[in-house]
Amino acid sequence: MTSKKKTIKNIKIDVDKCNGCRACEVICSSFHAMPKYSSNNPARSRIRVIHDPLRDIYVPVYAGEYAVAECAGRDKYVIDGKEYDECAFCRAACPSREEFKEPDSGLPLKCDMCEGEDEPLCVKWCLVDALTYEEREEEVVVEEEDTPDEIEIGLETLINKHGLDKLLDTVEQLAKDKS
């Protein structure tokens, strides 16, 4: 095992400031459209605003890592007297819910902090400063074990949804079309 410095990027969320305008969802889905800014579909957004209309509470949650299996924990949180299930604030794309999955393919979505930009666009577009971008350096221990990368996770998801034969046929057809 070795250690190295790693930059940790984070979006700090101030729930008390969020007014539920959903500008963060709109800019995120537009930034990740193909080509960029060509369309707007909040189902493709890497950030979602959860709303409790009875208490008028808005909670922005951005997409985290993909979870291969449903978690075992089902903790409850009480905010202003209203009880919330742990899943409401979970950042993972997991098999038990549809949030943070690409609507057409079912592939998991993960916040990439608007890679290539100075800071995430949801932070720039938040007019009430409910979202704040933070970077910090941490020393992390690097183990020599193999962890699946995004391509492996994506392929596994496609195989689970469509089957290996269908995936191989599609890749073969794409390879023929490209040559």
- Predicted confidence at residue 145, as pLDDT, reads 59
Q: Can you give the pLDDT of all 179 residues of the chain as single tens digits?
A: 677 888 889 999 998 899 999 999 999 999 999 899 999 998 899 999 988 777 778 889 888 887 776 766 667 777 767 777 667 667 777 766 777 888 888 888 899 999 999 999 999 999 999 999 999 998 877 766 566 677 888 888 888 888 899 889 988 888 888 87
- The helix/strand/coil state of 171 is helix
pLDDT above 70: percentage of residues in the chain: 87
* Domain boundaries of the chain, sorted by first residue: 3-145, 149-178
* Rounded distance between C-alpha atoms, residue 132 and residue 91, angstroms: 17
What is d(CA 164, CA 108) in angstroms, rounded to the nearest whole number? Answer: 18
C-alpha separations of 24 from 41, 84, 118, 122, 160 in Å: 12, 22, 16, 4, 31
Return the pLDDT at 4.
84
Helix (H) / strand (E) element for 33: namely: none
Query: Which residue has tokens 């409401």?
Result: 88
Q: Which of 37, 50, 4 is nearest to 117 (CA)?
A: 37
In whole angstroms, give the CA distance from residue 148 to residue 155. 11
